[in-house]
Each structure stands twice: as structure tokens, then as C-alpha cells.
Amino acid sequence: MRDMHKVHVRGLVIAIVALVVVVAGLIIYQQMEDESYGEPTTTVDPDFLNTPTITYEGHTYRQKPTSSITPILLLGYDKETDEQKGFRQGGNSDFMLLLVIDHTDKTVYRMLLNRDTMTNVAILGVTGRKTGTRVMQLTLAHNFGATPEENNDYAAEAVSNLLEGVPIDFSLSMNMGSISEFNRVLGGVTVTIQDDFSAEDPAMVPGATLTLTDEQAYIFVRSRRNVSDGSNVSRMGRHTEYMTAAIDKLYDRLKGSASAANDLYNEMSPLLHTNMSKGRLINEMNRAATYTLDAQYEMEGEHVRDEKHNYNEFYPTEESIMTWVLRAYYRQVD
């Protein structure tokens, strides 16, 4: 009897263990089924989630991830040489073009900035340290640093202040005395003359279409006082025409040769001041050459003459600022 009882107990234990194994197996199987056929998961780029949003005219926009865009501020400043012995000797920036290379849209957005635009610009104390900001002409921002790189930083900061604080990570500048060399590297830039420069070059008369020599390029871009109405507005128009044609020619050269970006860098680097490495700049040039070049944008606004201080002021409209900022830096999310 005792042996028979042991057999029954052993059989019961085996049955219970078997039942546990079966139940556990069913549970594991169900979990696997749930994982296989449950709701799909989506991986979201943390960089995207961390970007700021803004609301404008009833719509919400999220800033493009910094990893997907490359903003570069191009500057031409009004000095003949790069000599600088201290701060506040950087020279005012006559030409300012902001590029935003969008690697997702594969588009290069570009905005020509009016040098007379009024915005918050950093001001320095007697020791050269930043003490705050003051509303003044955008052109003055480049003047304040102690080195060409610092000058670029102050200019980029002022442009960012104007454009609702968007990031401008990179800058590239050259003195306007180098425009002749820039023209030489490109092999001449073709423009149609609108103003009368015949006092400086008899060939530069209204209506003439010229591939500018290096000297003519300097006259075309730099002359102001005795040309047209003598205003910066007139010269800005020539900046637009020259640089639009120059960028088109630059694009043609980049597309025509795999080594063009490297060749251009080697020819121009002695004239340039930038916080971009050679490799980064060449890579961006090569990638941008395959992208769509968006139409060059200029803000609308009011031109005001300050007769007391004898200078011009430009006040862009909020709408014209936001139109470009949202296009180049943001995506609508609602």
C-alpha cells in the first residue's frame, strides 16, 4: 500500500509540473504573439523632438534639426587689407548674404541682407568686453571684434537677433578690396550695367552687358558716392546683381568638375576668414552644388534717412522676416 501511495504522489507531482510548464509556455507564446502583432513602434529622432516650436498666424512650426541644415553667413567688409591692431577695427560689412543649406529638402536658401537694417548689435566696453546690445545698423556689428573671426561672430549674432534668434553656426568673410581677386578666380562675372560708371571706365555705360574685368568688378561693387543717387540702396542692387551672377557661375564651375571645390578653396583661402574647416567647407560646397538654388530673397520694409546723423536706416517688416525664417529654418507641423 505504501508503495502504491508513493506511485500516486509521484504521478500527481509530475502532472502538476507538466501543467505549470504548459501554462508557462502558453503565457510566453501569448507575449510573443503580442510583440509580433501589437501596435507598430516608431523611432523618433531625439534631435527633432528637442528643437523649438513657434506659433505664427495660427500655425505651429518646428525648427529643423541642426543636423539637417548648415547656415553660413557670407560677409564682405569695407577694408582694403586685413590689418587689425585691436577691437573696433574690423570694418563695417558692406555685403551680407545668409545661406541655409537644407540637406533634407536638398535646397539652398539665401537671403541678401541690407547693411542699413536696424537691429540689436553687441556693444563693447572700454576693455573690449561685451556689455550689452543697442539698436543700430547691421553693418556696424562686424566692426567690433579684436580679430576677423570675432568680427564674424558679432555679425552673425546681430543677424540672428534680427531673425528671431535662429542659429547661424558658420561664417565666411573677406575684405571688399579682394573683390577683384574673387572675380579673377571665377573668370569674370557677367552683368548688365544700369548706372553710369563712365567717369571711371568708359566701357561701363548704362545698357552695356559686360563680363567684368577684375578692375571693373571692383568699380561695379564698391563705387557709391558718384554713382546713380549715391545711396546704399542703389549699391545694394548692384551687390544683388553681381553676387547672383557670381553664385550662378560658381555653381556651374562646381558642377563641371569634381575637384572644383578644392581648387576654389586653395585659390581663395588666403583671402578668407572662416570658422569652417577646409574639409567641412569643401563637403558643403560639393553637396550644395547638387541641390536646388532657391531664389535670392530680400526683406521688404521702410527706408528712413536720419538727417541729423547723416545715415540711412532700414526697418524690415515682421512679415518679410518671418516669411524667410519659416521657409529656411522651420517646418509647419499642424
* CATH architecture of structural domain 47-332: 3-Layer(aba) Sandwich (3.40)
Mean pLDDT of 130-155: 92
Going from N- to C-terminal start, the domains of the chain cover 1-41, 47-332
Question: Under 8 Å CB-to-CB from 280, ≥6 apart: which residues?
Answer: none
The pTM score is: 0.79
Distance, in Å, from the CA atom of 188 to the CA atom of 263, rounded to the nearest integer, reads 16
Which residue from 103, 85, 111, 53 is spatially nearest to 247, judged by alpha carbons? 111
Rg over CA atoms, the chain: 31
CA gap 328, 67 in Å, rounded: 14
Buried b (16+ CB within 10 A) or exposed e, 54-90: bebeeeebbbbbeebbbbbbbbbbbbeebebeebeeb
Residue range 78-135, pLDDT digits in tens = 776 667 666 666 688 888 999 999 999 999 999 999 999 999 999 888 777 888 999 9
Q: What is the mean pLDDT of residues 248-274?
A: 90
The x, y and z cell numbers of residue 36, run together, are 509580433
User: Over the stretch 267-325, which tens digit does the pLDDT of each residue have?
Assistant: 989 889 999 999 999 999 999 999 999 998 999 999 998 888 888 899 999 999 999 99
Is residue 24's pLDDT more than 60?
A: no
